[in-house]
Amino acid sequence: MGVLPELSKAVQEMDWILPTDIQSEAVPLILGGGDVLMAAETGSGKTGAFCLPVLQIVYETLKILQSNKHNKANILSKHSSDQIKLNVYDRT
């Protein structure tokens, strides 16, 4: 699905062996920056399909901020600041 190994390990520990159909379709699209509208039955995995990419985005953002925190100048570079900008209308 394209999630980080840490997330993959965490869901395996929760006995999520295989992704549901909606998760298989939605997670890569969300991680790729696409807009996704999901409709499915209760228990089909919609929450996981939404939360896994959100957790990954937050984790990656925190790693970027943390690595920049240890930078000598303690200043975010333009490249890093572009990576951590989140826009509700267009996530890249």
What does the DSSP assignment read for the chain?
A: ----HHHHHHHHHTT--S--HHHHHHHHHHHTT--------TTSSHHHHHHHHHHHHHHHHHHHHHHHHTSSS----HHHHHHH---SS---
In the chain the first and final C-alpha atoms are separated, in Å, by: 18
pLDDT digits (tens, 9 = 90+) for 17-35: 899 999 999 999 999 988 8
Rounded CA separation 78/57 (Å): 18
Q: Which domains does the chain have, with CATH numbers?
A: 5-84 (3.40.50.300)
Residue 17 confidence (pLDDT)? 87
Residue 7 predicted with pLDDT over 80? yes
